[in-house]
Structures are given as C-alpha cells and as structure tokens.
Amino acid sequence: MAQVTGTSKLISVGLVVSKTGRLSETGQGFINGFEMALEEVNSQLSDVSLRFIVEDDQSTIEGATAAYNKLIHEDGVPVILGVYTSTMMRAVFPIAQENEVVAISPTSAARGLSAIGDFVFRVALTVDSLIPGSVKLTREKLGYERVATMYQSMDVFSQSSDEVLKSAFSENGVEVLTTETFETGAMDLSEQFSRIVALNPDAIFVSAISAGRTQALIDGGQHSIPILMPLLTLDEVERAGEAAEGAISFTYWSSTGNVPANRAFVENYMAKYGAAPGRFAAVSYATVHILAKAIADAQSSDSHAIRDALAQIENLDTILGSFSFDANGDAVYDPAVLIVKDGKFEVFDTKTALATIGETNESGVAGKAVFTQIGDNIKLVVSLANASAGEHAVHIHATGDCSAPDGKSAGGHWNPTGVAHGKWGEGEFHLGDIGNMTVDNQGMGKIELTTNLWKMNTGSDIDIVGKAIIVHAGADDFVSQPSGNAGARIGCGVIELGP
C-alpha cells in the first residue's frame, strides 16, 4: 500500500488498458476519458494531484495479471483502474484484494465479481442491475413472447448476461426457444442465425463483447427479427453499418442522457478530441471523478481510507446520473435502453397501436392485433380465439368503425396506393392485404407481418391508426377482385394508438 506524505501530495493511480491485442480498439476511448477527467480533477483538488501509471494488458489474462503485479509490487499504487473485460477482472480482482489495493473496473458487468472482496468496485452496471429492468421495459413495448438467445462461449460476461436474461424471461413469462453459442473470433454466425430464424422467435438476444457484437449485427441484421444486445456500443454499430439499424442496446450511458453534467461532458469531449465520446470514454471519465470524490472525502492516499470512502458514496451527481455503490461495491443508477436509428443511438421509445377484435355475424371469435413500431419498421401480430379451424383471411379495412353487426361499417379494403388486390410481397397488393391465418382445432390462430410500408400516428395516407382489422370466414385466394373472395366478416377491431 502506498502512503504519500507531505503538504502537496502526488498520488499515483495505476491504469490498465488494452493498448495492443484483440481489444485494442477499446483502449483509446478509455485513455481519452481518463485523461480528460484527470485534467479536471487536478484543477479542482486543492492539496492533492493525481498521476497515472499506464500499463498495457495486451488484451490477455496474462497481460492483465502482469500489469496488476507490476503496479502493486513495483510502483506501489494504492488504486488501480481497469481492466476492460469481466474475464480479465475475474483473474486480477483477487490479486488486488490479497494485497489490499483498491481496484475499480469501469466496465466489468458479469455477476458476482465484486463479492471477491471489499477492495474491489465496479462503475458499470452489472448484468443483474442492467438486464431485468431492460427486459421488462422492452417486453412491454415490443410484446415479445418467444425469444432466442445467443452468447459468446468462454467469455465470463457473455455467459453471465445470458444467464440473467433467461432468469428475466422466466420472471416475465417469456419462452426461450433455443440458445446458440459462438467462439471468440468467429467471423461467420450465419448458421446460428439460420437455425434461430427457422423457429420464428419474436426477438433475438445476443450476449457478446466487442467484435462478437459487431459480427452478430452483420449476420443477424439481414433478418427482420429485432436484435437486442446488452452493452452494444456506437463503434460496433458503425462497423456493422446498415445491418445495425433497429438494434436495441441495454446500457449504462447515453450521449443523449438528460443530465446537466453529461451534456457538458459531451460538448467538452467533442471540443477536445474532435469526435463524439463513446461509452468507454464516458465510463472511464466518470470513474476518475468518483475516485477523486473518494480521495477528497478520505483526506488520505491510503488504500484502506480510499476503500472506506468509496463504500460511502451515495447519490453522487455524475454523467451517469445519481450514482451510489451498494454493499458489494457494485454501481447503482438508472440504466438506458437505446435503439439504432440512422446509424446513431436514440432513446428507445416505441410506438404501439392496438385493436381489440370482437365478433361480427355472431361468430363468437375474440382476439387482438398489436402494431409495434421499431425504427422505420412496424410489426403486426394478430391473435385469434374461438374461431373455426382452417384458413381465415385477415385484412385492414378503410374505416375504423365496427358498429354494424356484420362488420360492414368498416368499409372496403384499405388501399391507399390504388392498386389491385393480391398477395403481400408478390406483385401488386393492397397495404391492407395481410394474408391468411391458420386456426387450429382448439380455435386458436396467429399471424405476423413486419413492414416499412406503413406509418403510425403521422396522419399520412399510409397511416394504420383509425383503420379496422377484419377477420373473414374463409381464405383469401389472392386473385379475386377487389377483396380475395374471403367470405363474411367474422371479427372486427378498430386500430387505435396505444399508450
């Protein structure tokens, strides 16, 4: 343990980053955030200044272990910041604990690592804090009931994330259809996604780090199924290109976060480095400010005093929001859920429209239609009960009125483009030509469609709000004009904007 004496104290802080190796793409963001915060805190601390001793972990467990041992046994630092991955943190946290040196990971998020001891802390939200609330929010918005998961094998964070996701799904009544895995460095995940897509899940959840997330976006983004990833970064989005559009991230920081300190950080970072900050720069910046608060409160450079002061931090204003450490040394603050739109992150805020389908012509059917907008795409899920077994056409009709007993108050087919009736996706078809639903012997049926041809709550000619969902007694033949000879209307529901 280092103890600096004298009136003007210079406290050395160890910094372990991936300057070389497979994770080197993350290193500069960390360094920028660390250095920017260092300049600020040194201008604010009256009788103490900090300096970094930087070590390269070479993106390996062995490199991280060597860096920690050097900083502890040769440089005598009281505090070490880093490393990046939970896999490396699992190896080096015990070294810090054994030597009674404070270790703070800006990014490690796997469950349970802070329980290694009282000298270890984490600034990123762990998967136990990040995922359950994010699953609850996204399920409310997207309405997914059947999902698939995929994770990067042999990576501690990815395994931990997948475990917590499955626990959250169980608590929310979501069925996991299958789980795929892939190895670190895999350059083609198309086979895994093909197996998943064949099961037609409502959403796919991918747990991976860095290049693994990018590859999953590239191979999974070609499908129309929503992809959700804990801790997806903007750098990874940029590398994936258009394939990332519509992807959803559970994360602990957003450049658009409505926190005064965050807005100032983004502006100052852009002025200093000529580019917008990423998540790594943000969390490393926050880590230094949190450490500086603890040192100021401790009035000491002793690792025990710094540890005790860190443990007492509660409701500290940071760029991450109001920040606290829990009893284990894990961070507590509000997570962010973001969606990729036009290659950038926006706060995830889907729009929904709903139709409750009631019987017409005394059919006895009941059901619902849920429209969910994700980016430019709108996904429709129509479910039906108490219907006769077989094929039933489902259409959107022009008028949102189900008052007539025979459903004819809903008017004719919705056809804002003025083309011939047909089969969706083949030649000409009405924007209301959804297709045929198969109803089983228990009277249950379901049909889904995802498209960018509709709008929601825009008032445009192709807006689905204010129209009606109609279920017919028979199947659509996709040929007969003007409506496919689908027979009587047995169900009707007005499409209204959701909450």
Over residues 165-194, the pLDDT tens digits come to 999 999 999 999 999 999 988 999 999 999
In this structure, are residues 127 and 160 in contact, taking their beta carbons and an 8 Å threshold? yes
Cis peptide before 83 (omega within 30 of 0): yes
Query: Which residue among 397, 401, 463, 477 is the active-site one?
Result: 397
Is 304 known to be catalytic?
Answer: no
Query: Which residue among 122, 128, 395, 476 is the active-site one?
Result: 395
In terms of domains, do 43 and 106 share one?
Answer: yes
Whose CA is closest to 338, among 250, 218, 242, 278? 250
Is 489 known to be catalytic?
Answer: yes
In this structure, are residues 416 and 472 in contact, taking their beta carbons and an 8 Å threshold? no
Q: Which two tokens stand for residue 488?
A: 């009587």
In this structure, are residues 343 and 244 in contact, taking their beta carbons and an 8 Å threshold? yes
What pLDDT is recorded for position 2? 36
Residue type, 358: G
Longest dimension (CA), the chain: 92
Rounded CA-CA distance 144/175 in Å is 9
In terms of domains, do 368 and 493 share one?
Answer: yes
What pLDDT is recorded for position 373? 84
In terms of domains, do 162 and 186 share one?
Answer: yes
In terms of domains, do 265 and 155 share one?
Answer: no
Cross-strand pairs, 52: 13
**pLDDT reading at 493 higher than 80:** yes
Q: Which two tokens stand for residue 489?
A: 């209307």
Query: Which residue among 122, 139, 392, 472 is the active-site one?
Result: 472
Q: Considering the domain boundaries, does residue 290 fall inside one?
A: yes
In terms of domains, do 245 and 261 share one?
Answer: no
Rounded CA-CA distance 499/497 in Å is 7
In this structure, are residues 233 and 207 in contact, taking their beta carbons and an 8 Å threshold? no
What pLDDT is recorded for position 5? 36
In this structure, are residues 151 and 208 in contact, taking their beta carbons and an 8 Å threshold? yes
Query: Which residue among 139, 213, 392, 430 is the active-site one?
Result: 430
In terms of domains, do 247 and 265 share one?
Answer: no
Number of compact structural domains in the chain: 3
462 pLDDT band, cuts 50/70/90, is very high
Rounded CA-CA distance 390/132 in Å is 39
What pLDDT is recorded for position 3? 38
Residues 6+ away with beta carbon under 8 Å from 104: 79, 80, 81, 120, 121, 122, 123, 287, 290, 291, 310
In terms of domains, do 357 and 475 share one?
Answer: yes
Query: Which residue among 433, 461, 463, 477 is the active-site one?
Result: 433
What pLDDT is recorded for position 188? 96
In terms of domains, do 487 and 371 share one?
Answer: yes
Residues in the chain: 499
Question: CA-based Rg of the chain, rounded to a whole angstrom?
Answer: 27
In terms of domains, do 385 and 449 share one?
Answer: yes
Q: Where are the beta strands (DSSP E) in 123-212?
A: 146-152, 175-182, 203-207
Query: Which residue among 139, 289, 307, 421 is the active-site one?
Result: 421
In terms of domains, do 211 and 320 share one?
Answer: no
**290-347 pLDDT, tens digit each:** 999 999 999 999 999 999 999 999 999 999 999 999 999 999 998 889 999 889 998 8
What pLDDT is recorded for position 202? 93
Q: Phi first, then psi: what are they for 486, rounded to 5°?
A: -90, 0
What pLDDT is recorded for position 8? 42
Residues 6+ away with beta carbon under 8 Å from 10: 4, 48, 49, 50, 51
Question: In this structure, what CATH number is given to the domain that contains residue 170?
Answer: 3.40.50.2300
Mean pLDDT, all residues of the chain: 93
Q: Considering the domain boundaries, does residue 2 fall inside one?
A: no
64-86 burial, b for 16+ CB within 10 Å, e for fewer? bbbbbeebbeeeebbbbbbbbbb
In terms of domains, do 231 and 265 share one?
Answer: no
**pLDDT reading at 203 higher than 60:** yes
Of 141-150, 256-265, 276-285, the range with the lowest mean pLDDT is: 256-265
What pLDDT is recorded for position 97? 98
- Domain end: 251, 273, 296, which one? 251
Residues 6+ away with beta carbon under 8 Å from 328: 114, 115
Residue 94's CB is within 10 A of a number of other CB atoms, namely 16
What pLDDT is recorded for position 67? 98
Question: In this structure, what CATH number is given to the domain that contains residue 410?
Answer: 2.60.40.200
Is 433 known to be catalytic?
Answer: yes
**404-429 pLDDT, tens digit each:** 999 999 999 999 999 999 999 999 99
Q: Considering the domain boundaries, does residue 346 fall inside one?
A: no
Is 22 known to be catalytic?
Answer: no
Is 90 known to be catalytic?
Answer: no
Rounded CA-CA distance 63/323 in Å is 31
Is 73 known to be catalytic?
Answer: no
In terms of domains, do 119 and 134 share one?
Answer: no
Expressed as residue numbers, the domain containing 372 is: 351-497
Query: Which residue among 139, 213, 289, 413 is the active-site one?
Result: 413
**430-454 pLDDT, tens digit each:** 999 999 999 999 999 999 998 999 9
In this structure, are residues 176 and 166 in contact, taking their beta carbons and an 8 Å threshold? yes
Residue corresponding to tokens 């040394």: 329
